[in-house]
With several copies, the nearest count.
Chain A
């Protein structure tokens, strides 16, 4: 099933190494500009363990701990040879496995009743079974999203434009408040400085930029500001035109770019 996951669509590097049936990959992280190491196709230590269990054709309910631990450690060693920082969570699991391996080697307590004795692997097995469910659920979600992306809603109607509205969550509230505080600070600064562009001129600039294209990414508009003061004016002029309903704002993601459009 791993082979069908969307991540394989990423460009593959032909690394000669092949550990535990997986090729380590270096890919750009979606959230930062950093490169991250994709440990084969594995999202974490449980994912890697599940893969090893499948590869070794063993039952998840009766894991040969010594064998699987060796495979697991071999995998981590290769990572280290490649000079790759192995994520902490992988090391924690390595420690757990080694401890488990040791426990399995210990002679059984002759005083304990045979059936009553706890299998030291129970916790790990339960964890793996639990994780497996959510991994499958994630694949189901991926399928649903794929189908849903092929469904389109109607184009915007005149009547959608009644109000520059935003749907609000808790973190939006915090973000908005931080923005206001930042703005407030800027305004205090503003009282000291003078000259440069005026508010009226800034309003005119914004109007022109939105009108000429019908739509304007506000980041582009803000980046034109040459000073912090101009930036504040730019921000205020956006708020002003929203207030007077000359423009409307759109934001596709909570902290994504905001786009201004002419309100007709």
Chain B
């Protein structure tokens, strides 16, 4: 490279040293990952030759990863086929892995069920797991609730019969959910037959969607601007 450019770059070398170190580390990982996936992209996975694990430790690690990503209990036979190894070798390796893993006495166990191996939580902790699962669905909405919220956001203030009219489906439980989550608020009654309650979005709604006020809701035009380009 030209000398004058080097001179210019000199000042920034120190500042960038740390960054460069991190870059090198990342580059090494990328190289490792790319080596194989690059080939996969071009040749297709099926005819890609796959090496068997080198050491016993590597074999155990690969087995652990496979059982983890499998959506059903994984048999030693299947693992042996994937790794192109002898079934007996794999069988012993899984047994050893299970023994090691379970000796940790952690919250997870590696167990044999329905002819295969899977990771599962230990029953001792199921009380906590159940409690956790119950508290969980907070930030997320069902499709029904989302639709109802969309109608309320863009048509507020709006009554339950009006939402029914637009969505074509009953929404009381969705509205209750949205009220519970404080995403919408009651806005008084509409002076019409039956004086139905009107709903609108709340301050919490603005907060959760990062809006200063309702005028910041994206409009159809915003959407078209992007699609157009």
Q: Do chains A and B touch in the complex (CB under 8 A)?
A: yes
- A-side residues, CB < 8 A to B, are 1-2, 5-7, 9, 29-32, 43-47, 50, 54, 57-62, 87-89, 93, 127, 130-157, 159-160, 162-178, 180-181, 183-184, 187, 236, 239, 242-245, 249, 253-256
Measured CB to CB, the closest approach of chain A to B101, in angstroms, equals 14
Q: How far is the CA of A2 from the CA of B26 in the complex (A)?
A: 18
Task: List the B side residues contacting A32 at CB < 8 Å.
Answer: 173
When the two chains form their complex, are residues B146 and A138 in contact, meaning their CB atoms are under 8 A apart? yes
Chain A CB within 8 A of B118 CB: yes
Q: Digit string of B207-222 for contact with A (CB within 8 Å is 1, else 0)? A: 0111100000111111
When the two chains form their complex, are residues A136 and B226 in contact, meaning their CB atoms are under 8 A apart? yes
When the two chains form their complex, are residues B168 and A176 in contact, meaning their CB atoms are under 8 A apart? no
Chain A CB within 8 A of B170 CB: yes
Task: List the B side residues contacting A172 at CB < 8 Å.
Answer: 146
Q: Digit string of B150-172 for contact with A (CB within 8 Å is 1, else 0)? A: 11011000000000001111100
When the two chains form their complex, are residues B154 and A177 in contact, meaning their CB atoms are under 8 A apart? yes
Report which residue of A138, A162, A256 has the largest number of chain B beta carbons within 10 angstroms of its beta carbon.
A138
Q: Which residue of B lies closest to A44 (CB)?
A: B169
Tally of contact residues, B, Cβ under 8 A = 80
Choose among A54, A87, A175, A255 the residue that contacts B228 (Cβ–Cβ < 8 A). A54
Chain A CB within 8 A of B30 CB: yes
Task: List the A side residues contacting B226 at CB < 8 Å.
Answer: 1, 132, 136, 139
Chain A CB within 8 A of B60 CB: no
Task: List the A side residues contacting B150 at CB < 8 Å.
Answer: 134-135, 137-138, 140-141, 173-174, 176-177, 180
- Those of B51-75 within 8 Å (CB) of chain A: 65, 68-72
When the two chains form their complex, are residues A43 and B167 in contact, meaning their CB atoms are under 8 A apart? yes
Chain A CB within 8 A of B103 CB: no
When the two chains form their complex, are residues A155 and B71 in contact, meaning their CB atoms are under 8 A apart? yes
When the two chains form their complex, are residues B169 and A150 in contact, meaning their CB atoms are under 8 A apart? no
Chain A CB within 8 A of B46 CB: no
Choose among B23, B143, B149, B179 the residue that contacts A164 (Cβ–Cβ < 8 A). B143
Chain A CB within 8 A of B195 CB: no
Q: How far is the CA of A249 from the CA of B39 in the complex (A)?
A: 18
Report which residue of A62, A133, A142 has the largest number of chain B beta carbons within 10 angstroms of its beta carbon.
A133
| A163 and B43 in contact, given A138-B143, A174-B218 (Cβ under 8 angstroms) | yes
Choose among A9, A60, A171 the residue that contacts B218 (Cβ–Cβ < 8 A). A171
Choose among B27, B151, B173 the residue that contacts A177 (Cβ–Cβ < 8 A). B151
| A147 and B149 in contact, given A133-B223, A152-B120 (Cβ under 8 angstroms) | no
Q: How far is the CA of A249 from the CA of B149 in the complex (A)?
A: 19
Chain A CB within 8 A of B193 CB: no
Task: List the A side residues contacting B118 at CB < 8 Å.
Answer: 153
